[in-house]
Structure formats: structure tokens, C-alpha cells
Amino acid sequence: MSDGLLQVFVDSKRSPEDYLYVLLDPLAGCGADHPLHPDVLEERLGEDAVTRVPRPDFAHAPEMAPVLVTLAAPGALPDNELVARTQAHALDDEGYRKRYVCGWLASPLPPGAMTSHVIALCQAAQPSAGGPFIPLYEPPRLELWAAALRSGLGAQLWPIRHWLYPASWGGFVLFSGLPGAVDELPPVAHETQSESALVSTLLAAWRRSLREPASYAPWRWQAGSPLPPQAASRAFRMIRDARKSGLRNNEDIVVLALHRVTVHPNLPENERVRADIARAAKDEARLSALFDAYDSAAWQYVASSLPHAQDYP
């Protein structure tokens, strides 16, 4: 769902009994005089329109907890200028690891019940009771969770009817809730959350690499969006592949992934590259240093030795 459809979401995805919310994360930073700062919004919309989401691990710093802002009550229309401002801020945040706007939600739940439901979702994503809090609303966490759950996401979200969420590849993606039985989470759902920080690091490095010169980069992303569709899921799969190959150092994992999306997706299948990965896995050398020994002709030779690839990992 592209950024141009936000107004469609606001106008047509809400049922008459739905509230319209935007979820903000102060951890991403927002100046005290910014129009989307919680205090400014409270002055503009009223105290009842700004509700803190009681993140349990932030009991010592409640001002840093997420903020649920009621843009419109059931049957009411939102302020289009304010909606447009949230959209603009979300798009401006695309290049940052922390996103201030965590999406727009339509639900019949009133603010207090809605904040409780958001926390319950985060707790559902925890690997075990009493484990570390999982801020599932933080991009790209919900996107990764959705990919892991597939058809099971709807029952987890309900009664959130729709959540328009910042996508890792640019613009927004729509997640929808549906009433139904909640299934047990597959192991990969927890695995995505444990790798979320590294996924964010890899996505940032991927975006940064597109602005830097490269002597041989036949697979460099060149389409209109900042990254290819499902970029976070692709990053997760590359991280998982790298760990299966023996890599444990995060820098090595990112370096290998960036070369896979630049030189060739099947890069680890080449014998020389595979040997260098094995050396890095043994901490004999960092992979970046080993790859520095390849010039453009060497990379071209490696790529020509690999089977044709249809897409990124």
C-alpha cells in the first residue's frame, strides 16, 4: 500500500464505530515545539486525545513510552491537515532506524482498551513469560512478525481492524485484523524479533550503500522505491543464512548480505567466497578485509560462475 493511499485508508477503511488513531514513539525523538510532539498535540486536540501506552519496562520514564493519539472518534472526521502532517513525518523518517510514526490504526476499541491491547500484542511476541519486552509496534518488528505468522496475524491483531504501517521498503503496508482463534506462534516468529535490531542495522546499511559508488554492482537496487518489496523479510533471511554458514560477527553478517544484494544473490555458493566465509567464521579475519582482496574483475568472475538468479534472497 503506497503513501498515496493514506487518505483512502482514513476515508474508507474505518467502520462507523471505529476510532482513528496514530501511534507515536518518543524514542525516535521529536522536538518540544514540533507540531507532533505529545504536549503540542494535547494542547491542540485536548487531554483525552493523547494517551500513553504503558510500556512496562519504561515505568521509570513514562514520558518515553509510546503515545496513542486519537485523530477521530467514531462517526467523526479527522483533521486532514494533521493527518497529512503525520504522513509527511512518516515519509521523512524512512531513512532512519527509529521511526516516530508507527502507523495509523482503525478499531472500535476506546483509547484505554486500545493501549492495553497494544501492550498485550507486545507481550504475545515475547519468547517466554517474564522475558524481555518486545516493542512490536516499532518498525520493522510488526512487519517481520506478520511475515512469520502469515494468515495468523489477523486473529492476533483483532479487534484492531486495520493498521497502516511504515514499510521497510518505503511507503506503507496494510495489516488487517480478523476475529478468530489465536494460534500458537511458530518458532520463526520469535526468531524474527531476536534478529530485529540486526535487521534494522542491515536495512540502514543497505540504504546507505545505494548512495555510495561501486565498481561492480549488477544487482544494486535501482527501482523507484528506497528498497525492494519485503526488504525486512529479505534482510532476515540473509541474516539467518549467514548464521547457518557459521558467521557470528554482526559486521561480517552485514558485509555478506550487502554483497549478496550487490554482486549476486547466490554469492555464498562460490567456492572462493565460501572459503572466505569459513575463515571469517573462525575469526581468522573479518569478511570485509577478505572481500577487499577482490577487484571488479574478480567479482565479475565470481558472479559468472554462479547460476542465474531470479530475485534477491
Which residue positions in the chain have pLDDT lower than 70?
A: 1-5
Q: What is the pLDDT of residue 1?
A: 43
Average pLDDT, the chain: 94
Q: How confident is the model over 186-227, as pLDDT tens digits?
A: 999 999 999 999 999 999 999 999 999 988 999 999 988 999
Q: What is the pLDDT of residue 129?
A: 73
- Structural contact between residues 252 and 287, judged by C-beta atoms closer than 8 angstroms: yes
Euclidean distance between CA atoms 200 and 97, whole angstroms? 6
Its sign, for the CA torsion 253, 194, 55, 43, is: positive
- pLDDT over 90 percentage in the chain: 87
CA angle 299, 302, 306 (to 5 degrees): 135
Half-sphere exposure (Cβ direction) of 271: Cα atoms closer than 13 Å:
1
- For the CA atoms of 10, 193, 285, 307, what is the dihedral angle to 10 degrees? -70
Per domain, the residue ranges of the chain are 3-186, 196-304
pTM: 0.94
Q: How confident is the model over 135-177, as pLDDT tens digits?
A: 999 999 999 999 999 888 999 999 999 999 999 999 999 999 9
Count other Cβ atoms within 10 Å, centred on residue 190: 18
Count other Cβ atoms within 10 Å, centred on residue 148: 21
